[in-house]
Structure 1
């Protein structure tokens, strides 16, 4: 009888334990669900018109864009997301939602609006705030943001130089995408973006639909933008097969060529290139996912405004004492029709050439560079490959870097194509 009573008590305890754990799990699930951040909660629409626009508000407010929450860690990570970058799904595609700045930076921006008498009309706490501000000349403010001195501490790092005569041409796509927004209100959105982070402006100036190596821009709603999720960062590909890395390297060199030459009117020079700012899509094409820092050179400058060496190529003379940094002169870039800066950035910093500069520019992101450990059979067939990589990084003559960079891309494409043919033959 004692044994029977003990068994009964044990089974009761086991049942209560299971019920307790089930209740705990159910309660945790409910708690996590209430803690999950939604796309609508990120918008801060009350802060408009000091926001990024309203173009994708319909999809966000109708819950067509869903933030991904995978497990307890992901839920809490989204809840306390210092970088304000969130991953989600929209229309069957993976997307990234960005508030474009840290919470502290956005707080500082709002504080500035509320303490500047000329901008107080935009203050979120202003009870008399109007949906269409009238007292602020946003066009003048936009021009000022794009031409602020390079030494400025302003968050935005999109600069147009050496003139602003064709600023509206540069911003043509941005204006076209504003739709039915009144001119004053779309200028308010544009000014806000330029003050906080110009990335969505750049993604519209250089749309991926036109072949530029950047993410697709879906739109903005309040203080959040939505753009394409390209893929993993470049740093994840360090140990991939060499042929795959060669294809990625070729796409990086192609990007350098496009940013420099593709537009007949403007040159685009990226000033913050690193493996973490580049992602690789499923077709092994590299795309630049952080477009906050960029110098735009207007190529259509009148003769009387040109410097004496305007027509000469600006050659980036690397400072080899600068470890793990992108050394360049904004003034020099802006004083020339063309610069080899983009080729320098791709070939020298962390990407292709690191194995030859390991003593001065080594980094843990891609040890040995993206093209490390070239297979012996490829070296035998293309013995000049290391020299091409070296000359792209440290050119022996003024025009060598661009010429060699383009030649290096052709060689890499030839190697990748031949490898594809061999696979098909077998």
Structure 2
């Protein structure tokens, strides 16, 4: 009898324990659900018109864009996401939602709006805020921001030089789409993510794929294809536009993503020097028509070294080729994320067939003769494309 009572008592506690654990799990699920960040919560619509636009608000407010939450860690990571970058889904596609600034930077921006007499109308705390402020000279504000003194230490963000006569041409797509990322739309063939729209303080763009640093140990042929796309991007940013040259000043592997077809795309385009190629003769420097060659030799081993003043004083610069070859492809790369460079450990059979390949890589990074970096960089891309094509043919033959 005692044995029977003990068995019953044990089973009761077992049932209570299971019920307790079930209730705890259910409660945790409810709590996590209430803590989950939604796309609508990110918009800060009350801060408009000091925001990026309203083009995708309909999809966000109708819950067509859903933030991805995978487990407890992801929920809390999104809740305390100071970098303000979130991953979600929209119309069956993976997307990225960005506020384009850290929380502290947005706080400082709002504080500036509320303390500047000329911009106070945009202050989020201003109860008399108009929907479209008319007394603010936005054009002058943008011009001042895009032409910050290049001799200063603060050379981050978008900069336009050496003149601003054609700023309207540069910002044409911005006026049409209400966000700076549209200066170089992917629809026009630029290696950047597709832009879906903006709502308040958040923009929605295509999720390209993993960062470049994830491909450090991928098969060499795959890395060669990615390297070719990086060199193609350097060529496009430098020459593709007849009106402007775009020079990347932050080329970290974390700012580059790789799509499923092994094409590299630049996902952080905040830091660019834009050179207006159409300036009058009286505004040109004596060496304007000459190619600017990046010869800057800073002692900092992990820095992307360049001179904004030199880039802005020339019609063209080899800066983009320098940035790609020296800081991403070469064995002398400064990036800790891809030690030895993206093209490390070239297979022996490829070396036998293309013995000049290592020389091309290093000459693109640090050329032994002036004005050869771009020529070598384009030749390197041709060789890489030939190697990738031949590898594809071999696979098809077998």
Instruction: Note if contact 2:162-2:276 (Cα within 8 Å) is conserved in structure 1.
Output: yes
Q: CA deviation at 1:109?
A: 0.7
Distance 1:202 1:338, change over 3 A: farther
Show CA shifts across 1:372-399 (max 9, x none): 0000000000000011011101112222
- Partners of 2:259 and 2:180 lie apart in 1 by 19
1:320 aligns to 2:292 (yes or no): no
Instruction: Note if contact 1:356-1:390 (Cα within 8 Å) is conserved in structure 2.
Output: no
Q: CA deviation at 1:320?
A: 5.3
Instruction: Note if contact 1:249-1:370 (Cα within 8 Å) is conserved in structure 2.
Output: yes
Q: CA deviation at 1:210?
A: 1.1
Show CA shifts across 1:185-217 (max 9, x none): xxxxxxxxxxxxxxxx45311111111100011
Show CA shifts across 1:344-391 (max 9, x none): 0000xxxxxx79999975442001110000000000000000110111
Instruction: Note if contact 2:333-2:340 (Cα within 8 Å) is conserved in structure 1.
Output: no
Q: CA deviation at 1:176?
A: 2.3
Structure 1 unmatched runs, 5+: 179-200, 348-353
- Partners of 1:164 and 1:317 lie apart in 2 by 27
Aligned to 1:100, what secondary structure does the other structure show? coil
Q: CA deviation at 1:2?
A: 0.1
Distance 1:202 1:371, change over 3 A: farther
- Partners of 1:244 and 1:116 lie apart in 2 by 52
- Partners of 2:332 and 2:262 lie apart in 1 by 29
Aligned to 1:361, what secondary structure does the other structure show? coil
Instruction: Note if contact 1:314-1:332 (Cα within 8 Å) is conserved in structure 2.
Output: yes
Distance 1:156 1:342, change over 3 A: closer
Instruction: Note if contact 1:260-1:269 (Cα within 8 Å) is conserved in structure 2.
Output: yes
User: Please, what is the CA RMSD of the aligned residues?
Assistant: 1.8
- Partners of 1:390 and 1:95 lie apart in 2 by 37
Distance 1:409 1:361, change over 3 A: closer
TM-score by length of 2: 0.97
Structure 2 unmatched runs, 5+: none
Distance 1:260 1:292, change over 3 A: same
Q: CA deviation at 1:125?
A: 0.7
Show CA shifts across 1:143-175 (max 9, x none): 111112135677961011111111111111122
Instruction: Note if contact 2:256-2:267 (Cα within 8 Å) is conserved in structure 1.
Output: yes
In terms of mean alpha carbon deviation, does 314-323 or 359-368 score higher?
359-368
Instruction: Note if contact 1:355-1:372 (Cα within 8 Å) is conserved in structure 2.
Output: no
Show CA shifts across 1:309-367 (max 9, x none): 000000000415221110000010000000000000000xxxxxx79999975442001
- Partners of 2:109 and 2:241 lie apart in 1 by 33
Number of matched pairs: 398
Show CA shifts across 1:61-119 (max 9, x none): 01010000000100000001111110000111100001111111111111111111111
- Partners of 1:90 and 1:155 lie apart in 2 by 35
Aligned to 2:332, what secondary structure does the other structure show? helix
Q: How does 1:17-416 map to 2 (within 5 A)?
A: 17-150=17-150, 157-178=157-178, 201-319=179-297, 321-347=299-325, 362-416=334-388
Instruction: Note if contact 1:95-1:227 (Cα within 8 Å) is conserved in structure 2.
Output: yes
Instruction: Note if contact 1:174-1:204 (Cα within 8 Å) is conserved in structure 2.
Output: yes
Instruction: Note if contact 1:355-1:368 (Cα within 8 Å) is conserved in structure 2.
Output: no
- Partners of 1:42 and 1:356 lie apart in 2 by 34
Aligned to 2:322, what secondary structure does the other structure show? helix
